[in-house]
Structure formats: C-alpha cells, structure tokens
Structure 1
C-alpha cells in the first residue's frame, strides 16, 4: 500500500494532462476518427510502458539496499518533485491568460483529427514516452519500484500497474465511446469543449494539486521512517 501511495501521484501526473486528452477527444470525435483515437491511446500506453520499463532498469543502477542513503532517496524524490510542481504551478498561474481571452489551440493539436491510425499510434508513443514531464515521473516511479521490490515478478507487476494508471485517461474515453452509446458520446463532446475553453486553468490546478499530493506522500514516507 505504501508503494501504491507513492506511485499513484506519479502516475496521475502523467494521466491528468489536459492537452493530450483534448487531442485524443479531437481525434475520437472526428468523422471516422475512432481507429485513429484507438491507435493514439494504445500508442500512449506503449510509450508509458517503454519509458517506465527503461527508467526502472536504469534506476536499478542506483543503491537499493535499504541503507540510510537509499531511504533518504525514497523521501527526497517525491518531495523534490512535489515542490518543483508547486513552483511550476504558481508560475503558470501568474502567467495564465486573463479571463475572456481566447487561447488558440496549438497548430499540431488542430491537425490531429486528420491522422491515420498508424500515424496516431506513432504520435501517441512518442508523446507519452519522450515528454519531459512523463520522463521525470517515470524515473521517479522506477526509484520507488526498485526500492520496494527485489523479485522480477514484483517489479513487472508494479511497472504494469503504473502504466495502467498513467494511461487511464487515454484508454477510458475510447472505451466509453465504443461501448457507452450516444449519451456518453454527447458527454465526451461537452468534455472536449470544456477542456479547450479552460485548458490553462485546468493545467495550473492539476499541477498544483499533484505537487501538493507528492509533497504529502514524501512527508508520509519520512514520518514512516522516523517512526520505525
């Protein structure tokens, strides 16, 4: 449970990304866009899996011997990431557009509804695997996973769990569109419009909340070590 408490905010930091979600909905709700959206979401899943696996392997080069230095690393990673996210959120809040100001969509986002399934899959892989924020969170997850497990099966399960949590917002809308019927599709249309309209504020609030979550997770880890 302690490991899950550390992995959850890291995975949610990847999953709760308004810009990729808005892009997915643009693809999904375009005429004949379901296959491309499915490709994008599968690509996102594979990209997160690739980065999480690679960085977990790289983090195995770090000390995981439960020494004082290793325990300090387990506390420092979520604390430092949380503080960095809070600072970033405050900067973004200061620089946010004024209310009523129309924020144009990035050019690449506006072109997503014309992607083929193959290209959408490739973009999903690249965007999930090599986005700087995702790489940092995957590296932190690797430290947590390697600090909690020594057996390969435990490591594989934790990497798979982290990947699933980090991909839930990409896979969920596609599954809802496929099986939810017209009412669910209408809600997805409203969600897309809301995301596009409020994206700067949503991004700031998400970053701040996840930063606070990570700081609290780090403090809980520190308290647990002090009480041992």
Structure 2
C-alpha cells in the first residue's frame, strides 16, 4: 500500500475526534468566542505538528537501510493499532448509553466557551499533542514516513501534509464561521447539536471503521512486501 494509503487513516483518526470538535463549536458559537475558537484550532494544529515532527525525527533514528526489522514495523504497527481500535470500539459499543438517553457533556467541555484565546491555544496544543490516541497515531505515521523517505525534505513535506489533514476538522469550522456568513453559522449550530446528541455512536463507528482500515493497511503492506 502506498505511503498515503497508510497515512490517511492515521490522520483521520486524529481529525475525527467528536469531543474536541464539540468543544470547538461551543467556543465558536458562544458570544465573543471566535478568538478562543481560533486559538484552540491553531493550538491543535501546532500540537499535531509538534508530536508528528518529534516522532518522525525519532523514527528517523532507526536504520535507513530498509532492514527486515524496519519492514516488519511497517506491517506490525498498523495491524496492532487496528486490532486495538477494533477492541476499543467493541467495548465502547457495549458501554454506550441506551437509545434516547440524554448524553451529559463533561464539565470541562461546558467551560470552554469562557476561555481566553491564550488559554484556549494552550489547551489545543496539549490536547492534540499529548492525547494518547494522537500520540499513537503520530508514532505510527512516523514509521510510515520513515519507510517512504530517507531525505529530510520528503519527511518534512509528509509531516506537513499529515498535520494539515489531521487538523482539518478543527480549522475548517473556524474558517467557515469567519467567511461563510449567517447560513453557515446556522449549519454549525445544527452540527453541534447533532454531535452532542450522537457523540457515543459517532465515536464507536469512527473507531471501528479506522481500526478495520488499519488492519487492512497492515495486511496490504505485508502482502506487498511478500510479493516484492
């Protein structure tokens, strides 16, 4: 499987995060909340960039000779991540609230609409860079990028594109709010309500689909190596 066939699901796993997206929309739609939402989205971008760059650099310390160990990592890492996500999705499905039950939002999420832009930026950096799921995906991305490039330019370009894809769900609503007018803002209100109402199901489906995709990516890479 190509480099981006493996990197895309990793970036989407970071991007498709219902809880921080709901928090971003709460900030964005609060009175005078645009600056805080913009700070959170920029912080998210910087956090992903930091973790992806750091872990890609750490991955670059591995041998560059495409040894059997490096090739094995390209197969085993997505397989293990995929299986872990599938198991997590099954557990979350079992523990989901009953249909029609009200889904309470965490207290910290409800407080986001009162943040200053500086604090929102710091929270965005911390949430994107140090959330365990994001760190694992960034580590896997570093292994994939290492397997595709040995030159620094290629690594930096791949990290940059990966970061942009992983941040699109946080940057997109802010840009839409700023330039889309009243109609777009109304859609963002409906999106926030839909996210809050369906967050458990969205989370489960996202985890399961991406887990299956990662398993298929690992199997595809293993097949490619076996045939090459």
Query: Which TM-score bucket, shorter chain as reference?
Result: over 0.9
For residues 173 and 65 of structure 1, what CA distance do their matches in structure 2 show? Answer: 42
* Structure 2: gaps (5+ residues): none
| Between 55-64 and 197-206, the greater mean CA deviation after superposition | 55-64
Match of 1:66 in 2: 66
**Distance apart, 1:226 and its partner CA:** 1.7
**Distance apart, 1:89 and its partner CA:** 0.2
For residues 55 and 118 of structure 1, what CA distance do their matches in structure 2 show? Answer: 26
For residues 169 and 63 of structure 1, what CA distance do their matches in structure 2 show? Answer: 35
Q: Secondary structure at the match of 1:10?
A: helix
Match of 1:124 in 2: 124
Q: Secondary structure at the match of 2:134?
A: helix
Match of 2:49 in 1: 49
* Structure 1: gaps (5+ residues): none
The normalised TM-score by structure 2 is 0.98
Q: Secondary structure at the match of 2:100?
A: coil
**For residues 21-77 of structure 1, what are the alpha-carbon distances to aligned partners after superposition, in whole Å with 9 as ceiling and x for unaligned?**
000000000011111110000000000000011111112232342122211111111
For residues 62 and 205 of structure 2, what CA distance do their matches in structure 1 show? Answer: 33
For 1:133-172, what aligned pairs fall within 5 Å after superposition?
Answer: 133-172=133-172
Q: Secondary structure at the match of 2:66?
A: coil
| Structure 1 runs, 4 residues or longer, greater than 6 Å off | none
Match of 1:93 in 2: 93
For residues 92 and 219 of structure 1, what CA distance do their matches in structure 2 show? Answer: 25
CA RMSD in angstroms, aligned pairs only: 1.0
For residues 49 and 60 of structure 2, what CA distance do their matches in structure 1 show? Answer: 17
For residues 73 and 192 of structure 2, what CA distance do their matches in structure 1 show? Answer: 39
